[in-house]
Amino acid sequence: MSNYKYFPLIKTRDAELKALSKFDSIYFDQTLPIYELTKSRKAKVAPDGDIHRRMSTIKDIQGERPFILDLTSNEKYINPQIEQLLNESKGFAEWRYFLDFYRELNIIPMIHIYDDDDFTQVQHFVREMSSLKEFLAVRLPYDLDEYKKYIRPIISSLSHGCKIYVIIDGEQATSDNVNDISAGCMFACEELDEFNASIEDIVTVSTSFPLNPKDYGTDEAGDIPILEETIFREVSSHYPIKYGDYASINIQQVEIRGGTFIPRIDIALEQMFMYKRYRREKGSYPLCAKKVLSDKRYKPLGIWADKEIALAAADIPSGISPSFWIAVRINYFMTSRVLLRNRIS
């Protein structure tokens, strides 16, 4: 097993990348991010959203630290460049070329599997990349009927000394499906047991942050359970897994248009989020921040997120957009997850 404590699965959007750029090194060094590469914001020179702009930002954030690199298949965030990289012909030749282009970065490549019975191109990719890399990664849904079918061709194609990270993706967790996700992850671990010698870590990831937090409280305040912790607690009591999540981002990631949002600040406690939410005419982000500071459950961690909350409470917020405060939430959440892992390990 690796020494990493935390595996956040992060789409390369502005809020997520800002949060990571402010992530303190003491916590970052214990974290192995899984970046799901998405197109950048549209610009005149790149109307489709150039992915190389996102890679440049990742380079600035990561430095020499390793990271897992995945490619999005989400229609909202994909572009022709990413579609080309997902082409499986010649052993995912375009994906391999892209990885070679960024060979100075410490990338752990994601293995892409299509739901069919022909693993020829996947095995070609694994043979080529495992001769160059110490680690590869593969991401599988939690509800497969079998896992050996997909893992065995990968393991058999690994060069000597190369291991894989297996990410079991629970996607959106709710009170209705949390037990199913836990059971699915445990079944995956059972299926993967015979391949342990070639697996560096098995990581469970999911998210339970809702589309509408106010469904969990009043218009102005409430508490939201962090079901990722419930899943991890259940599965890790039976199998030696690592903790991952979507860094407090809802899987649907609905874009909030200017003028339609209600200012809100979310803070992660150990097993739940608390939120403070006040309309602009009632006090906006400064009042949200004041309410956070007056809540005895809030514990400052001495990080960027705390500084931004303090500035807003002093009526001088650095940002007043939803994206900015999502970055604050992510920054605090990720830090709290590393601290929690260290506390219970």
Task: Provide the residue type at 210 as one letter.
Answer: P
Q: Determine, yes or no, domain membership for 301.
A: no
Whether the pLDDT of residue 180 is over 60: the answer is yes
**Which DSSP letter does residue 144 get?**
-
- Please name the amino acid found at residue 64: E
Mean pLDDT, rounded, for 41-62: 76
* Beta pairing, strands 199-207 & 221-225: unpaired
The residue with greater pLDDT, 261 or 216, is 216
For the residues 170-180, what does the mean pLDDT come to? 97
Predicted confidence at residue 70, as pLDDT, reads: 97
Count of Cβ atoms closer than 10 Å to residue 188 Cβ? 26
Number of domains in the chain: 1
Give the single-character DSSP code of 227: H
- The predicted structure's pLDDT at residue 44: 45
Read off the pLDDT band of 45 (50, 70, 90).
very low
| DSSP run (H or E) holding 56 | helix 51-62
Rounded average pLDDT over 247-276: 86
pLDDT tens per residue, range 189-236: 999 999 999 999 999 999 999 999 989 999 999 999 999 999 999 999
Which residues partner with 169 through β-bridges?
Answer: 141, 205
Q: Where are the alpha helices (DSSP H) in 148-199?
A: 148-157, 178-192
Residue 79: inside a domain: yes
Instruction: Provide mean pLDDT across the span 85-114.
Output: 96
Residue 42's pLDDT is 55
Amino acid of residue 154: I
Its domain, for residue 222, covers: 6-257
Sign of CA dihedral 277, 279, 282, 288: positive
Establish if 75 belongs to a structural domain. yes
Would 125 be classed as within a structural domain? yes
Residue 268 lies in a domain: no
**Is 111 a member of any domain?**
yes
Instruction: Tell me the average pLDDT of the chain.
Output: 94
Give the pLDDT band (50/70/90) at residue 254.
low
Q: Exposure of 115 by Cβ count < 10 A (0-12 exposed, 13-18 middle, 19+ buried)?
A: exposed
266 CB burial (10 A radius; 0-12, 13-18, 19+):
buried
pLDDT band at 253 (very low <50, low <70, confident <90, very high): low
**How far is the CA of 263 from the CAs of 27, 48, 90, 225, in angstroms?**
28, 30, 49, 21
Residue 25, pLDDT score = 98
The rounded percent of the chain whose pLDDT value lies above 90 is: 86
Residue 334 lies in a domain: no
Output b/e per residue, 8-34; b: 16+ Cβ within 10 A.
Answer: bbbbbbbbbbbbbebbeeebbebbbbb
Higher pLDDT, 256 or 137: 137
- Residue 304, domain member (yes or no): no
Tens digit of each residue's pLDDT (9 = 90 or more) over 115-162: 678 899 999 999 999 999 999 999 999 999 999 999 999 999 999 999
Rg (CA), the chain: 20
Report CA-CA distances (Å) from 320 to 280, 288, 295.
10, 12, 21
CATH number at residue 208: 3.20.20
**Residues 286 and 312: beta-carbon distance below 8 Å:** yes
The strand order across the sheet containing 272-277 reads: 221-225, 272-277, 264-268
CA distance linking residue 91 with residue 119, whole number of Å: 10
pLDDT confidence of residue 46: 44
DSSP secondary structure of 13-54: -HHHHHHHHT--HHHHTTB--EEEE-----BTTBTT--HHHH
Amino acid identity, position 303: I
pLDDT band at 261 (very low <50, low <70, confident <90, very high): confident
